[in-house]
Structure 1
Amino acid sequence: MLETGNWLQTETDVISQTGFPLFGGQHVAILIATFFSGPALARITRQSPRQRTIVRSVLALILSAIGLTWYIYRFGVEHVRWVDGLPLELSDISLWLAVVALVTLQQSFFELSYYWGLSGASMAMLTPNLTGSIAEFPSVVFLAGHGLLVASIFYLVCSHEMRPRRNSWWGAFCLLNAYTVFVGLFDHLARTNYMYLRSKPAKISLLDFFGPWPWYLLVGDIAALLIFFVMGLPFLRREQVL
């Protein structure tokens, strides 16, 4: 659904394709809403368990609606092949992991959505891969889906309802590699390119700085390891203080 592979485009490309300049007024406003709405909601509802439950339920409902609507659009309007429209992108999985975490407060689902979803969706919001006008349906879904995913994870953390366990970054990294092997096997059998495992995107992307295939996969894996480790550090320090 919400592909995050084309993380880095030139500003000229983005403006010419979408009329949406990177870090222009619209982009900055969307980023502020994305990164501050979760903490703001957490502050408002921190003293009320009932309000927190309502907020989590609403966030889960909206995320689910975005995900399902996108699949309907892909198959019903764009008429993509079924093998090309499956929810196998990491952002798809992260969205549904976040939905389950919001509804159940289950630790493992939260940790995967934190490491997988927050890292990928944040980068996607900073350098959005929009292929049309910001008012077009795919662009709205891209921004709403990634933005709400980030806001939901921040809400769970800032409301103190969820937090990653010590060294959970390592488990998330190992599961990411296991999932990558599964998707890679599917890509090979179905001749698809989920997670850009068989080839890099046609447009300029962060992967272009990681070398040719298959080296960009290894470099990307190392980058994920470092990012996950850094994401776990704030919670490790807090445990040491406690």
Structure 2
Amino acid sequence: MESAFEMFSAVHISSIITLCLLILLLFFSRKRLSIQHQKVHLIERFFGLTLFIIDGCYYIWLVQTGRWDWGNSLPFELCSISLIVTIVLLWTGNKKLYPFVFYAGIGGAIQAVATPVLDINFPHFRFFHFFYTHFGIILTALYFTWVKGYRPTFKGVIQTMITLNILLPFLVAINFLVEGNYMFLREKPRGGSLLDLLGPYPWYILSLEFVAFIVFICLWFFFKENKEVNNDII
């Protein structure tokens, strides 16, 4: 029988600690990886392929278990969109995709890892899918920053905010058509999340815009001063 996931349980805390350890491992391995160009290129594509496969298996699982629903199974959540862009970035290295993965990807995935909207616990496939894909987004953004030399810019902050706001009306329309709640534009997650701190509907959506901008600015400020890599990016 499937056990329910509990926020801030031992399993959840262990997952957060695992992410922190992986980030530290990537950081301390950055110089060694940066000089192995051909090898890391293969790693990038392989990692992108694993993200694609596990996410594809997730949608197959939804269909096979009768969980598929137009209102919550389409890849229109922020992290679902970020995952798609992350996979393309890993396969192409397209510099134009980096700002979205860095800002929206890290911002959304960290919030998701901190307060997961997840109903099935370890060791179920869905548990591994959730954390593997969200870890993948964060680690990919940091990898392209620390290893590949891509640098976040203030221009990237603005571009990401504009992109998200362009997506907004389309997602509102999709939510209306399929009675969904993609990007939580109709209501907050019922299991509790950081959105609970941002006020009632619909004001939390406006608050979220402000919070997203502040988070993006903090990410830009924290990483922009690193002068170890001088590649001219963006």
**TM-score (norm: length of structure 2):** 0.86
Could you tell me which runs of 5 or more consecutive residues in structure 2 were left unpaired when the two chains were aligned: none
Larger deviation: 28-37 or 152-161?
A: 28-37
Q: Distance in 2 between matches of 1:125 and 1:65?
A: 21
CA positional deviation for 1:221 = 0.8
Q: Determine whether 1:153 maps to 2:141.
A: yes
Q: Is the 8 A contact 1:36 1:151 kept in 2?
A: no
Fraction of identical pairs, as percent: 25
Q: Distance in 2 between matches of 1:166 and 1:220?
A: 19
What's 2:47 paired with?
A: 59
Q: Distance in 2 between matches of 1:124 and 1:18?
A: 14
CA positional deviation for 1:107 = 1.4
Between the two proteins, the alignment pairs up a number of residues equal to: 226
Q: Which amino acid aligns with 1:103?
A: W
* Residue 227 (structure 1) aligned to one of 203, 212, 215: 215
Q: Which amino acid aligns with 2:123?
A: A
Q: Distance in 1 between matches of 2:11 and 2:147?
A: 29
Structure 1 104/197 Cα, relative in aligned 2: closer, same or farther at 3 Å?
Answer: same
What's 2:31 paired with?
A: 43
CA positional deviation for 1:214 = 0.6
Q: Distance in 2 between matches of 1:42 and 1:229?
A: 24
What's 1:197 paired with?
A: 185
Per-residue Cα deviation, 1:149-172 (whole angstroms, up to 9, x for no partner):
211211111113422244210110
Could you tell me which runs of 5 or more consecutive residues in structure 1 were left unpaired when the two chains were aligned: 1-14
Per-residue Cα deviation, 1:48-89 (whole angstroms, up to 9, x for no partner):
211221121121111111211111111222342234311111
Per-residue Cα deviation, 1:198-230 (whole angstroms, up to 9, x for no partner):
111222221111111110100011100111112
Q: Is the 8 A contact 2:55 2:133 kept in 1?
A: yes
Q: Determine whether 1:90 maps to 2:78.
A: yes
CA positional deviation for 1:238 = 5.4
Q: Distance in 2 between matches of 1:230 and 1:25?
A: 24
Q: Which amino acid aligns with 2:91?
A: V
Q: Distance in 1 between matches of 2:17 and 2:218?
A: 27
CA positional deviation for 1:140 = 1.2
Q: Distance in 2 between matches of 1:229 and 1:198?
A: 27
Larger deviation: 229-238 or 90-99?
A: 229-238
What's 1:11 paired with?
A: none
Q: Which amino acid aligns with 2:19?
A: L
Q: Determine whether 1:217 maps to 2:217.
A: no
What's 2:96 paired with?
A: 108
